[in-house]
A and B are shown apart, each in its own frame.
Chain A
Amino acid sequence: MGDVYIQGVDMIRFGRFPDRSLTSLGAEAALLALDDAGLNMGDMQAAWCGNLGQAGGMVGQRVLQEIGQTGIPVVNVANACATGATAFREAWMGVKAGLYDVVLAVGVEQMGRGLLGGAGGSKGISKEGLLGSGIMPCVFAEAGVEHTRSYGTTFEQFAQVSVKNHHHSTMNSKAMYQKETPLEDVMGAEMISYPNTKLMCSVNVDGAAAAVLVSEKKARELGSGRAVKVRASALTSDPYSDRDLVMPDINTCTRNAAAVAYEMAGVGPDDLDLVELHDCFATAEILHYENLGLCKDGDAGRLIDEGETALGGRIPVNVSGGLLSKGHPLGATGIANIYEVSTHLRGEAGARQVEGARLGLTHVIGLGSACAIHVLEKPA
């Protein structure tokens, strides 16, 4: 069976666009990706659209109404924070299965401001602040504290993740923020849910990203020399664990997805040149160093201390600025990660370029839970 390639991929600059429609953001990203591929809507044989906030709203079809209504199959995808990556993966499956040669995957989201999450349903009384907290900063704080419990990871080490990712984003004009945040600023920012301060929480932004995926045959025919090979695509849900009822397990599904992805790609974590992982909160990035095998269990604190995951380090992580500074428009995030890694593999990442990048990995996780991992390889 032939490989699948990313022929075109792009994202809009993440930001807050209250005066624009959701579909115009998705349409803009789709056109950027089509331009990057040197193709147009008439070439697309199917499309997948990831969006969470209007999951019932046929967003994919509405995007096509703005850029080219050709009557192709359109599938709308919702999978929490893994929504965009899931849309990409479904598009990959369509090509991999041999049904299509050229397809489009779009991820788009318009976010409100403020806290995500919350516990309990509509019946009776609110459980938030009564039976602990269901807000996302707390859920991921508790996951981080579990790492502290096992390995003594400190507030400062978690905070360093934010310092690093904000620094990276100063080199990314498509990030929401381009602003250095020294350690004392990160640790001294408003405490949201210990140990996550405000600067250790991802930014709610509007955003869109899109990719054009093609078959090996089509990639050869187009011969652009910029087609990024998809070496692996993995998707998992959370298997049963004892505390799963009250403490979403973000670790096991990531470990399971990584195992599938590394096997499919025939590579290991040591072969990677860069990683874009799901730093929805600074605490989460530390956990995923180990979940993705970037270091052995218990070594994640040392990894951040020694700068191994900073640009120029052994395995740069989130050189885009990550969700912490680039922003986290839920449905777009997964494809934006794929854009970032592809841009490095093409040698087009400018000031933040990871030199000689040959192989990269993208990772997202949606609570509830869904984990998607892709391994991408430099154009031949």
Chain B
Amino acid sequence: MSEKVESSGPLPAVPYIKLPEGADPYLEGQKCSSCGAVYLGQRMACGKCFSREKFEAVKLSDRGTLHVFSIVHRSFPGVEVPFVSAIVDLEGGGTVKGNLVGVEPEPGSVELGMPVDVFFDDAGRKDGDGNSYVSYFFRPAA
């Protein structure tokens, strides 16, 4: 479990969210320097080409397209529903899953292939030690 971190800001909801001081948050991928496959997090070797060459930390795009979605009406107790679970292909590589906000959670309101922006905001939940978290969300492209 995490401990309360004194006199520092909110924590990233997942390790691939980067919160640089004095700059905008971004998503970080690990790119195989041999074949270019992009991962969210460290690997011992590349799952695609098995290369053990160094992985390069890359800043992932904050723009992408909606690959697929579902509208979740029933989830675990305490989770606010309905919400749109979305899988987004980011420009330049990397696929991430998250909540699509700023649209009605109805099938007719969500368009497959629509351009979306990634933005960062308070996660709206705290851990047992009272720490706040920053998460990422998708919204229809401006």
Q: Once the chains bind, are A130 and B13 in contact (CB under 8 Å)?
A: yes
Note all chain B residues with C-beta closer than 8 A to A259: none
B69 in complex: contacting residue of A124, A125, A130, A142, CB < 8 Å: A142
On whether A127 and B14 interact (CB within 8 A), knowing A132-B99, A240-B37, A247-B97, the answer reads: yes
Note all chain B residues with C-beta closer than 8 A to A247: 67-68, 87, 95, 97
Q: A306-342 CB contact bits vs B (8 Å, 1 = yes)? A: 0000000000000000000000000000000000000
Q: B122-133 CB contact bits vs A (8 Å, 1 = yes)? A: 011111000101
B105-120 with Cβ < 8 A to chain A: 107, 112-113
Note all chain B residues with C-beta closer than 8 A to A113: none
Q: Once the chains bind, are B75 and A115 in contact (CB under 8 Å)?
A: yes
B80 in complex: contacting residue of A120, A129, A190, A242, CB < 8 Å: A129
Contact surface of A with B, Cβ cutoff 8 Å: 115, 118, 120, 122-133, 135, 137-138, 141-143, 145-146, 148-149, 155, 190-196, 240, 242-247
Whether, in the assembled complex, B57 has its beta carbon less than 8 Å from a beta carbon of chain A, the answer is no
Q: Once the chains bind, are B76 and A115 in contact (CB under 8 Å)?
A: yes
Note all chain A residues with C-beta closer than 8 A to B72: 129, 133, 135, 137-138, 192-194
A213 to B39, CA, bound (A): 43
Distance in angstroms from A368 CB to nearest chain B CB is 14
Q: Once the chains bind, are A245 and B40 in contact (CB under 8 Å)?
A: yes
Note all chain B residues with C-beta closer than 8 A to A118: 76
A selection of 13 A-B contacts at a CB cut-off of 8 Å is: A129-B79, A129-B99, A130-B125, A131-B14, A132-B99, A133-B85, A135-B72, A138-B70, A190-B74, A193-B71, A195-B107, A243-B67, A246-B40
SS class, residues of chain A in contact with chain B: loop
SS class, residues of chain B in contact with chain A: strand
Q: Once the chains bind, are B127 and A246 in contact (CB under 8 Å)?
A: no
For the complex, count residues of B whose C-beta is within 8 A of A.
45
Chain B CB within 10 Å, residue with most, of A122, A127, A128, A131: A131
Note all chain B residues with C-beta closer than 8 A to A115: 74-76
Distance in angstroms from A122 CB to nearest chain B CB is 8
Note all chain B residues with C-beta closer than 8 A to A127: 13-14
Distance in angstroms from B88 CB to nearest chain A CB is 9
Q: Once the chains bind, are B68 and A149 in contact (CB under 8 Å)?
A: yes
CB-CB nearest 6 A-B residue pairs: A132-B85, A141-B70, A129-B79, A246-B97, A194-B71, A132-B97
Note all chain B residues with C-beta closer than 8 A to A142: 68-70, 85, 87
Whether, in the assembled complex, B86 has its beta carbon less than 8 Å from a beta carbon of chain A, the answer is yes
Chain B residue nearest to A139 (CB atoms) is B70
Note all chain A residues with C-beta closer than 8 A to B86: 132
Note all chain A residues with C-beta closer than 8 A to B89: 243
Whether, in the assembled complex, B2 has its beta carbon less than 8 Å from a beta carbon of chain A, the answer is yes
A246 in complex: contacting residue of B71, B79, B87, B107, CB < 8 Å: B87
A194 to B83, CA, bound (A): 10
Note all chain B residues with C-beta closer than 8 A to A135: 72, 74-76
Q: Once the chains bind, are A124 and B99 in contact (CB under 8 Å)?
A: no
Note all chain B residues with C-beta closer than 8 A to A131: 13-14, 97-99, 135-136
Known: A122-B1, A149-B113, A242-B95. 12 other contacts (CB 8 A): A125-B133, A128-B75, A129-B99, A132-B86, A135-B72, A146-B67, A148-B112, A190-B73, A193-B73, A196-B70, A240-B47, A244-B47
